[in-house]
Amino acid sequence: MNKKYPIKKTEADWKNELSPEEYRILREKGTEFPFTGKFNDHYEKGTYNCKACGNPLYHSESKFDSHCGWPSYDQAIEGALELIPDHSAGRIRTEIVCAQCGGHQGHVFNDGPTETGLRYCVNSASIDFEKKA
């Protein structure tokens, strides 16, 4: 990652703070296997935050079951994510990264079934959950 984000840490710091799986996904743009993430079937009320820096990304009201195997949201918190054209995997997609630390979250697609028409497809290892009090 070569863009400058408000939260600046060395890769050694990230490796020290994140589990190997979290590091692989958040810092190396990996993905987890479908239907394996702890937040895929999670529907409590609260906020989903970036696992690396705690930046709030999604409200639980925006989560829906897309049957794709990853947590899906139809709307992100305004300004929480940066959208980046992704030409890997032999197709054009839109990568989503945390606007505060640049941590890879997943991809956003325009095939969502709700009014927004969007499906933010997110790795569970990229997020944490803060239950609404």
Looking at 53, 98, 101, 121, which residue is catalytic? Answer: 121
- Which residue's structure tokens are 């020290």? 16
- Which residue's structure tokens are 């305004």? 78
- Which residue's structure tokens are 């400058």? 4
The total of other beta-carbon atoms located within 10 Å of residue 99's CB is 21
Identify residue 109 by its one-letter amino acid code.
Answer: F
3-class secondary structure for 40-79? CCCCCCEEEEECCCCCEEEEHHHEECCCCCCCEECCCCCC
Active site residue 68: no
Residues classed as catalytic: 121
